[in-house]
Amino acid sequence: MDVTISRSSVSGRVRAPPSKSYTHRAILASGYADSATVRRPLMSADTRATMRAVEQYGGAVDVTDESVTITGFDGRPAVPTDVIDCGNSGTTTRLITATAALADGMTVITGDRSLRSRPQGPLLDAIDQLGGRAESTRSNGQAPLVIRGPINGDVVSIPGDVSSQYVTALLMAGAVTAEGITIDLETELKSAPYVTITQELLAAFGVDTDRTETGFSVPGGQAYRPEDGEYTVPGDFSSASYLLAAGAVAADGSFVVEGLVPSAQGDVAIVEILERMGTDINWDRTEGRISVSRSALSGVTVDVGDTPDLLPTVAVLGAAATGETQIVNCEHVRYKETDRVAAMASELEKLGVRVTEEHDALTIHGGDSTLRGARVAGYDDHRIIMALSIAGLFAEGETTIEGAEHVDVSFPDFFDVLDGVGVDVRR
């Protein structure tokens, strides 16, 4: 599906969608439990992949309008009766790969073409260190994966600069092993706030974890038991970043985004980034309400080492700003659904933005750019599509984004929301 956006203003109030990161973890944590209810989950293509995986490990999932009730496998996943297809969900793949290592048998995990290009090798190595068997069918560290368990827990050593999801997967599985798992990091941990999210969520499910001098540890023999059998998913700052950016570049008066209370999400940094760029923004943390007005933006330097999902948003904000916006420490952003550094550089150039792409940095020369509508590629990547849609709000003429249906991964009603606040959207 192609979507065309014309230069528009936004006004009114919107609610941030539920967090994808928390929803994935809450669904799998509920699978590790005897039973649990996840309230206000994000229902998207990716989170449904995690639900299907829980079912294939022996759980049962009942979806209603506002919640998901899961009868779990209580820490003892069954060997799936079929291959687990994770679609395009890298989070699902990594989290459930460690789950597979608990099952007494062999599990095969795969996904679509994009997912089958993403690195899984360090997690496979970790499972091998724990006494399981973990292989890539093509011997390249990428899916399809074959995992054989069960593991009992022990000490593992893994790099921290490829994906924090390896740590999350091992912490979640380690809690129900006999011995627990201690994770020693060989390198600096990138995207560290995502592990903090995991620890926060595990605590809500009654699972203890620890930060050590060299990494993380989780004691074994624990049970997943959320208070009152329920967990409520907070709003998603990653998805809200596009709405807040829309307000900063196109608000007609004050534009309000609701449902954003403080949490461990690293992408809460979007508020501070917008402030540094000169945005008129106010966050009522108690009410979870952020108001933002159209502002004259100035370029800044942003380190996305811990917030890789913000790169597309910051790149678009840089195109609306005077001066240069430099996004640094971003090599790991190249290993997402697509190479997001190269993708944003390429598509912003089509819109008339001057950019300088380096291996670990992306510089947006806002003062030397005049945005004009064009046909741009979405790369089947929800974050690229949403970011380019925001660029369309202040580009002259019309901007057409190809493959726009892929917003279903994290923000299924994104274009309905834009339409509801005044954006000229044609599908």
Provide the 3-class DSSP secondary structure of residue 98.
helix
Domains 3-17+235-426 and 20-232 share a fold: yes
Please give the average per-residue pLDDT across 76-93, as a whole number: 97
What does the alpha-carbon distance between residue 365 and residue 355 come to, in Å, rounded to a whole number?
A: 6
Domain ranges for the chain: 3-17+235-426, 20-232
**How far apart are the C-alpha atoms of 309 and 333, rounded to whole Å?**
8
pLDDT digits (tens, 9 = 90+) for 288-303: 999 999 999 999 999 9
pLDDT in tens, 269-287: 999 999 999 999 999 999 9
Assigned CATH for 20-232: 3.65.10.10
* 191 assigned binding-site residue: yes
The burial class, CB within 10 Å (0-12 / 13-18 / 19+), for 190 is buried
pLDDT range class, residue 253, cuts 50, 70, 90: very high
**Residue 107: both structure tokens together:** 């599990």
Is the CATH number of domain 3-17+235-426 3.30.530.20? no
Phi, psi values for residue 14, rounded to 5°: -135, 160
Kindly state the tokens that stand for 277.
Answer: 């760029």
Torsion of CA 142, 145, 149, 154, to 10 degrees: 10
Residue 340 known to bind ligand: yes
Q: Is 368 annotated as a binding residue?
A: no
Q: Give me the phi and psi of 206, to 5 degrees please.
A: 80, 20
Tell which residue, 39, 4, 45, 34, has the closest CA to residue 22: 39
What is the pTM assigned to this prediction? 0.88
165 marked as part of a ligand binding site: yes
Pick the catalytic residue from 236, 267, 309, 381: 309
Six-digit token string for 234: 């907070």
118 is in an annotated binding site: yes
Q: What is the pLDDT of residues 369-424, one digit of tens each?
A: 889 999 999 999 999 999 999 999 999 999 999 999 999 999 999 999 999 999 99
Q: Annotated catalytic, 360? A: no
